Structure 1
């Protein structure tokens, strides 16, 4: 009898206490030892090990509209290495930008927050908001016509 068939009834009937978590971890370790095509049973065990809040969060993410359109990441402005300081790091992975010899750092258009391209690509594949301030990256900020504002200020000064 395949391992996933042997474990499935036990996985579905377990309650959520400390002994159960230990048993689920043991089952997970057993499945990794006998790594065949047990992906469904393995996923069931992993999901059962997750705290309920995380499971709910993953469900919400799955129900979302998704992330940015294909090709959006290519349009993000790259931050040149000379503009990066020694203490600057990615808020997603917490790694320093300058730890990499050739850092790929991008700046989000509305808020100016910077991230490793790889990190923010994963985030934006699922969401259209900045991971830091939650501003929508697809909504363009209205550009202020500086010339009209300056004319008004000048008029007020001399008028």
Structure 2
């Protein structure tokens, strides 16, 4: 009948020990979860960094990759004037920043598709791409354009005039 007595010292010692073991188990479980979470987060971060490094290495090793900075320099820049007809652009809007071209702004016109863009916008685009942002045609100048452009003393801006002659 000692078991029915709520003041039984054996029962209260057992309850204290059980509560202590349960509390310790909870603390150990929470600690384990925190450690595993931190380890996985660090592993994911290092995996992500390795993947990015691998992507950059592959981009550098790709035989078809072009030195985009050289490609940008080979595409001539010109000033926009109101009323100027742009071959590839019907609406006079830069497709990269979605702003209308304004008087005196510098533009680049891609040689393949004749789409025009603000110099800063298309240079930023060509930093990581080799195609037109509108039609995806090749944005790098053809070999004829690379060697046929006149040198300019106006800081890279050129006026290209095409004349036809009959032979």
Classify the TM-score, shorter chain: 0.3 to 0.5
Q: Quick check: which has more Rg, 1 or 2?
A: 2
For normalisation by structure 2, the TM-score amounts to: 0.42
For normalisation by structure 1, the TM-score amounts to: 0.43
